[in-house]
């Protein structure tokens, strides 16, 4: 808004000097790892919308295999208790007090290169805003794990999006930054979810439409709660996982069902 006003004044006063370009947010860095480009898209959006500097970090021995090779290497590393070494950062982290830390979710939490980063750099006293991309979910677990790993760092609530929905990140990142008070704008207050009730046939149809074609079974929905969004209904399903009785009712699956019935419902995240 300020930028728009400055531009308007500059246009109406003939002799006024050209407005200065918007300065980058002082002290903020988007620092991210991305193997296949999804997290990179979100990283670029955050940098664009906040004016923060940006750096992608890598690992000394890249995970450059396919999905199965990466899984196999991670399993080997987990078995041996090793963490990949990262390549040296170009940016001096001492100059930044806020880090937007981005990563893919691997094995339910931040990908091992982030563990390598945490080993190599000092984030004490800084504010970290996590963001991630995932097949089904992992923002909450990875944020909790960051808090445990960095007790002297302020870890704020972050943003996560499924790879399959990453094209929608531009709008969502904008809302996230405004609602978090990072970027100026009108915050959107969402209503509370209704109390969870046993699923109806209609709820199950929505769940199946949203989750049925996901490559992994997400469980059997038993409870549903909902709330109205501007142009959709958002559901949170509590699902019991097939064959894992003690995990019963432990998984929450968030689904958005647009009011336009021609648009397919989709799940936005799974919280385990
Ligand atoms: C080794 C490996 C493990 C993964 N584990 C999970 C997982 O536990 N949960 C999940 O939702 N997605 C998982 N994924 C999917 C990635 O999180 C997802 O594809 C992500 O968007 C990739 O980000 P990138 O394109 O920035 O590398 C995994 C992917 C890989 C390669």
Q: How confident is the model at residue 246 (pLDDT cuts 50, 70, 90)?
A: low
Distance from residue 223's CA to the centre of ligand 1 (Å): 27
H helix and E strand count, the chain: 7, 12
pLDDT of residue 237: 97
Query: Are 99 and 202 in the same domain?
Result: no
Burial class (CB in 10 A: 0-12, 13-18, 19+), 251: buried
What is the chain's mean pLDDT, rounded?
90
d(CA 161, CA 54): 19
Mean per-residue pLDDT, 89-98:
97
Query: Are 167 and 50 in the same domain?
Result: yes
The larger pLDDT score, comparing residue 3 to residue 225, is at 225
pLDDT of residue 13: 32
Query: Are 262 and 164 in the same domain?
Result: no
Query: Are 122 and 203 in the same domain?
Result: no
The larger pLDDT score, comparing residue 242 to residue 168, is at 168
User: Hey, which of 30, 70, 106, 139 would you mutate to test ligand 1's pocket, going by the most ligand atoms within 8 Å of its Cβ?
Assistant: 106
d(CA 158, CA 132): 8
Among 144, 179, 214, identify where a domain stops.
Answer: 179
Residue 18 has pLDDT above 80, yes or no: no
Ligand 1 atom showing the smallest separation from residue 74 Cα? 1
Domain-located, residue 186? no
pLDDT of residue 241: 82
Query: Are 164 and 214 in the same domain?
Result: no
- Cα–Cα–Cα angle for 190, 194, 198, rounded to 5 degrees: 145
* CB-based contacts of 6, cutoff 8 Å, min separation 6: 19
262: left (phi over 0), alpha (psi -120 to 50) or beta: alpha
Residue 40: which domain range?
28-179
pLDDT of residue 242: 61
Residue whose CA lies nearest to ligand 1 atom number 9: 108
pLDDT of residue 19: 52
Tens of pLDDT, residues 143-196: 999 999 999 999 999 999 999 999 999 999 999 999 999 999 999 999 999 999
Report the CATH number at residue 40.
3.40.50.360
109 pocket-lining for ligand 1 (C-beta < 6 Å): no
Residue 22 has pLDDT above 80, yes or no: no
Q: Whole-model pTM?
A: 0.90
For the chain, the straight-line distance linking the first and the last C-alpha, in angstroms and rounded, comes to: 40
Tens of pLDDT, residues 106-145: 999 999 999 999 999 999 999 999 999 999 999 999 999 9
Q: How confident is the model at residue 248 (pLDDT cuts 50, 70, 90)?
A: low
137 pocket-lining for ligand 1 (C-beta < 6 Å): yes
38 pocket-lining for ligand 1 (C-beta < 6 Å): yes
Query: Are 207 and 78 in the same domain?
Result: no
Lowest mean pLDDT among 7-16, 18-27, 63-72, 91-100: 7-16
Tens of pLDDT, residues 30-85: 999 999 999 999 999 999 999 999 999 999 999 988 999 999 999 999 999 999 99
């Amino acid at each position: 808004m300020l930028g728009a006003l400055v531009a308007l004044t500059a246009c109406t006063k003939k002799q006024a000097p050209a407005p200065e370009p918007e300065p980058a947010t002082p002290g903020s860095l988007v620092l991210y790892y991305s193997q296949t480009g999804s997290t990179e898209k979100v990283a670029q959006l955050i940098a664009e919308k906040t004016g923060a500097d940006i750096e992608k970090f890598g690992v000394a021995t890249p995970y450059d295999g396919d999905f199965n090779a990466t899984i196999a290497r991670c399993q080997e590393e987990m078995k041996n208790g090793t963490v990949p070494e990262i390549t040296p950062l170009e940016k001096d982290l001492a100059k930044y007090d806020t880090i937007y830390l981005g990563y893919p979710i691997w094995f339910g939490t931040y990908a091992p290169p982030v563990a390598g980063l945490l080993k190599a750099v000092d984030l004490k006293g800084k504010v970290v805003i996590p963001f991630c991309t995932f097949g089904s979910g992992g923002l909450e677990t990875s944020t909790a794990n960051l808090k445990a790993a960095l007790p002297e760092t302020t870890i704020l609530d972050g943003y996560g999006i499924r790879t399959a929905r990453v094209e929608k990140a531009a709008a969502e990142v904008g809302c996230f930054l405004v609602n978090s008070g990072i970027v100026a704008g009108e915050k959107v207050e969402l209503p509370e979810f209704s109390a969870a009730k046993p699923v109806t046939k209609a709820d199950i149809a929505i769940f199946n439409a949203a989750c049925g074609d996901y490559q992994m079974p997400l469980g059997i929905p038993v409870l549903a709660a909902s709330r109205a969004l501007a142009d959709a209904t958002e559901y949170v399903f509590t699902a019991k996982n097939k064959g894992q009785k003690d995990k019963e009712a432990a998984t929450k699956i968030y689904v958005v069902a647009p009011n336009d019935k021609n648009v397919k419902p989709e799940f936005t995240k799974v919280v385990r």
